[in-house]
Amino acid sequence: MAGAIIEQQAAPEKNIALLGSIFGISGANSAYGILDSMGITNMYNSWWFMTLLFVFAMNIIVCSLDRLPGILNITREPLKPLPEERFKAVPPGREAVLKVPDGKAEEMVTAALKNIGFTARAGKSEGVTQICAEKGRYGRLGVYVTHLSILFILTGAVVGMKFGFTAEVKLLEGMSSDVVMTGNGREIPLGFEIRCDDFDVSFYPESERPKSFTSILTVVEEGGDVLTRQIEVNRPLRHRGITFYQSGHGLFPNSDALFKFRLNAAEGRTQDISVKLLQRFEIAGSKLTARVVDFSPALAINGEGEVFTVAESMINPGAMVEFSEGDKVMAGQWILRNYPDTWETPAGVLEFRDLWGVQYTGLLVRKDPGIWLVYFGFILMATGLYGAFFITHNRIWIRLNEEEDATGISIVSSANRNRSALDRKLDRLIEDLTKRGGSPDQGAS
């Protein structure tokens, strides 16, 4: 339970701060040292937590094995007739007399059992005919399937911990990497290269609420592109057992970033432009040149028409574009990606398409060979719980006491849970039988 309070695998500073609020600053560092050596700061990976899990698993195995043979017998063998003495005390309302010719009663009881969903089997005990029926016997195994599933999940988790890794990599647009870093600074080679072609955040209209984080990733093997996929938060990329998850993003302003514009000039000509900061470009078909002299990741316009930076992430990148005609420098102009009104320039409509190469995508990289064991455990657990909680094992024994022109029937039953549901069914059974074969107080049919 301590693990629920002390943040696990976190940077030491965070937990020291937490301890500081309890023990005071001077005590915090030594307290952290003690906790660290006990493995409490990373207790879910520590030796004693593993031991605890092992003991828990052994406990499940031993307790299940203890009861399993008896239960297996119940589920394996067909239902046997009960000894006569069990019919000495039949519960009230569980007896009836069928006034039908000899031999007909068995057929009638079988049909009535079928009506409440049971398949009957006839048998004899001490010379008296008994009809046995049961339903849901495999539900009894549900508990053991659930216990087994826990073992699968734990094994899968341990396999994942021992033979897998969880790491991170940050890729600037256009950059690639063939290694990733784990939380404790270990470098892991991927065996291939992963490249980020583009990263984009989109926002809901008129709000700063992000709608999607998307990265376009390319896998590079031996110098050639193998596959390109777009990933999102709930849609990772898998390659050679390694999965890449969209987990973060950020800005890294640098002079290699490219401003991508599309110029729609007056005569319907379009021109795609891709330039770095301060790099002069020519406007085709005119004497104008231009260059980007400043930029901001998130610009907005206030009431007076002035621009200001609203956030540190790229909500609405803006570029200050300065036009020149020959040596004559004209006034610069802010062009904002999300505001088409600002695209109107002396050279035509300069559409700001993207600022590429300043954002990086944060990827969580994971290899987990144990995951299939875990998933198999999940399926087992769901099946087991269904069996344990939603299937009831009902057993019915009906003794036929055959006389000359009438048969007395007595019913004994058992249910491993939800007794009242079985009782309602038996009430229906008795009602059905008395209707078919006449009741003690009515005449023969």
Q: Cite the beta strand spans of 66-209 per DSSP E.
A: 95-98, 120-125, 128-135, 165-172, 176-182, 187-203
Taking CB under 8 A as the criterion, the residue among 278, 389, 435, 444 binding other proteins is 389
Shortest spacing between CB 117 and other proteins, in angstroms:
21
Does 164 bind other proteins (CB under 8 A)? Our answer is no
CA gap 196, 174 in Å, rounded: 6
Does 230 bind other proteins (CB under 8 A)? Our answer is no
Does 232 bind other proteins (CB under 8 A)? Our answer is yes
Residue 199 or 323 having the CB closest to other proteins: 199
Residue 7 or 256 having the CB closest to other proteins: 7
The residue range among 2-10, 82-90, 173-181, 319-327 that interacts with other proteins, by the rule CB under 8 A, is 2-10
Does 247 bind other proteins (CB under 8 A)? Our answer is yes
Residue 44 or 54 having the CB closest to other proteins: 44
Taking CB under 8 A as the criterion, the residue among 234, 267, 303, 441 binding other proteins is 234
Does 376 bind other proteins (CB under 8 A)? Our answer is no
CA gap 32, 40 in Å, rounded: 9
Residue 406: HSE in the Cβ half-sphere, 13 Å Cα cutoff: 17
Does 157 bind other proteins (CB under 8 A)? Our answer is yes
Binding mask 180-219 for other proteins (x = CB under 8 A): ------------------------x----xxxxx------
Task: Please state the φ and ψ torsions of residue 150, each to the nearest 5 degrees.
Answer: -60, -40
Does 48 bind other proteins (CB under 8 A)? Our answer is no
Does 385 bind other proteins (CB under 8 A)? Our answer is yes
Return the SS3 of 77. coil
Taking CB under 8 A as the criterion, the residue among 34, 38, 58, 233 binding other proteins is 233
Shortest spacing between CB 427 and other proteins, in angstroms:
16
Residue 214 or 316 having the CB closest to other proteins: 214
Pick left, alpha or beta for residue 315 (phi over 0 → left; psi -120 to 50 → alpha; otherwise beta).
alpha
Residue 211 or 269 having the CB closest to other proteins: 211
Of 192, 78, 153, give the one whose Cα is nearest residue 381.
Answer: 153
Residue 365 or 409 having the CB closest to other proteins: 365
Residues 6+ apart with CB under 8 A from 86: 397, 412
CA gap 132, 119 in Å, rounded: 9
Task: Please state the φ and ψ torsions of residue 75, each to the nearest 5 degrees.
Answer: -80, -20
Contact 347, 288 (CB under 8 A): yes
Shortest spacing between CB 341 and other proteins, in angstroms:
25
Taking CB under 8 A as the criterion, the residue among 50, 79, 349, 364 binding other proteins is 364
Residue 7 or 102 having the CB closest to other proteins: 7
What pairs with residue 176 in β-bridges? 195
One-letter amino acid of 418: N
Does 324 bind other proteins (CB under 8 A)? Our answer is no
Contact 319, 291 (CB under 8 A): no
Does 5 bind other proteins (CB under 8 A)? Our answer is yes
Tokens of 409: 């029937």
Residue 138 or 375 having the CB closest to other proteins: 375
Radius of gyration of the chain from its Cα atoms, rounded to whole angstroms: 38
Cα dist from 54 to 46, 48, 283, 368, whole Å: 12, 10, 72, 20
Helices (H) and strands (E) in the chain, counts: 7, 23
* Residues at the contact surface with other proteins, assessed by CB under 8 A: 1, 3-5, 8, 44, 63, 143, 157, 166, 204, 209-213, 232-236, 243, 245-247, 364-366, 371, 374-375, 378, 381-382, 385-386, 388-390, 417
